[in-house]
Structure 1
Amino acid sequence: MVLLTTKFVQRASLFVSFGGLVTTIITTFLPLWKTMNSDLNEMENWYEGLWHMCIYTEEVGIHCKAFESFLALPLDTLASRVLMCISIATGFLGVAAAFFGLQGVEIGTGRERMKRTLLILGGVFIVVSGITTLAPVSLMAYIMVVKFWDENLPDVMPRWEYGEAMFSAWFAGLLLVVGGAFLFVAVCMGDHEAKLQSKILSRNQEQRSRTRHYRKTEII
């Protein structure tokens, strides 16, 4: 297809990656990773994120409180917080590197090898960002399922369930992985176009040399 040019794939991949990065940043600070509702008091809902715990009641509304101690956090919450921060950092580096490696960006014009290296580096960072987004949310989901079906806990005790932020994190991680993977596709497309251009140039040079040779023989 005509639309699937190297330039288009580069920009589409960067757009998808940037969307995944923005979604990751928003999801990291949302207090909606876990939700819990007690059957004894249906008017009260609990929400927990990586940084805050919130309670919602119809009388007061929503009230949030940040976790006071970093070391007192549960292991899954602590690991998820660290991994999400790594995801934001690597995603930002990947998007920045890929932006400067795009065709048409004036910085580094004429240095195709450097631009290619920036695109590859950006793709690696973005894929790592996607993996470090998918890993913590999948870990928390697994632990939540194990605790939800734990037979040692009484049935009356409320249990944590999936919050909206977990689905948002899965979506963000998928966007980052897809965006980073298509940056590699764009690099391969650029290499293929460069080979075709070099072949065309070599053929043109051969034709020019042949025509010059023929002209010389005609003059002689």
Structure 2
Amino acid sequence: MYTCRMVLLTRKLVQRLALLVTFGGLVTTFVTTFLPLWKTLNTDLNEMENWYEGLWHSCIFTEEVGLQCKAFDSLLALPADVLVSRVLMLASIVMGALAVAVAFFGLDGVELGPGHRRLKRGLLVLGGVLSWVSGITTLLPISLVAYVTVVEFWDESLPDVVPRWEFGEALFSGWFSGLFLIIGGSFFFVSLCMDDCSEPLSPPSTQEMPRIQHYRKTEIL
């Protein structure tokens, strides 16, 4: 009986760990989407100025004034990688939120009424799939912006005096958030693959059954 309780406790812990990791990846993705730190630039002419650029704003940091940001003027004037990254990151936030909401009702201990065991299993499967999709749609724009940044940094057609954009902190947080979402979705499937614990059968009684004496009927002739 003690082993059975330990197995059930482990299953619940895996499910709650999956929900926690998925929620952490969702929050990190949300913050990464609106951070203006996707790319950074520092010029040799003025080392006191640092330029930053994200999906929504471009910013400049100086020691005298601090951080000043300005939103992009036109949606049509955005580069293709920034526009695609906006759409994918917003889709990732929506998918991640749905994954957390759906999987919550599939957790052990959350009552949906009698006879809903198959429904709860389906909710965990759907939550895991949505978490995977959210993680992939986070990793794609992050990797796309990183690829474009690398290509432009090593572009030999540009003069050496032209400053080049480099990786910002938001790219690294985006990679971590995408991995968290994929790991969280995988933990949901791990919890489903764990065998359900069944109560052990009671040991047979060692008490001897009373002997039944059988008497043979005899006839006296």
Structure 1 contact 108–114 (Cα < 8 Å) conserved: no
SS in 2 for 1:32: coil
- Residue 132 of structure 1 is aligned with which of 123, 129, 137? 137
1:50-199 map, 5 Å: 50-108=55-113, 110-189=115-194, 192-193=195-196, 197=198
Structure 1 contact 108–115 (Cα < 8 Å) conserved: no
Return the offset for 1:110: 3.8
Could you tell me the percent identity over the aligned residues? 65
- Residue 20 of structure 1 is aligned with which of 17, 25, 29? 25
Structure 1 contact 90–129 (Cα < 8 Å) conserved: yes
Query: Mind listing any 5+ residue stretches in structure 2 that lack a counterpart?
Result: 213-221
Residues 123-165 of structure 1 show CA distances to partners (whole Å, capped at 9, x for unaligned) of 0001100000011001111111111011111111001100011
Structure 1 contact 80–137 (Cα < 8 Å) conserved: yes
Which aligned segments of 4 or more residues in structure 1 are displaced greater than 6 angstroms?
A: none
- In structure 1, the residue matched to 2:218 is none
Return the offset for 1:108: 4.3
The farther-off stretch of 128-137 and 60-69 is: 60-69
- In structure 2, the residue matched to 1:43 is 48
SS in 1 for 2:69: strand
Alignment RMSD, CA only?
2.2
Query: Mind listing any 5+ residue stretches in structure 1 that lack a counterpart?
Result: 208-213
Q: What is the distance in 2 between the residues matched to 1:95 and 1:109? A: 23
Closer, same or farther: CA 184–121 of 1 in aligned 2, 3 Å: same
Closer, same or farther: CA 108–47 of 1 in aligned 2, 3 Å: farther
Return the offset for 1:68: 2.0
Closer, same or farther: CA 96–108 of 1 in aligned 2, 3 Å: farther
AA matched with 2:139: L
SS in 2 for 1:105: coil
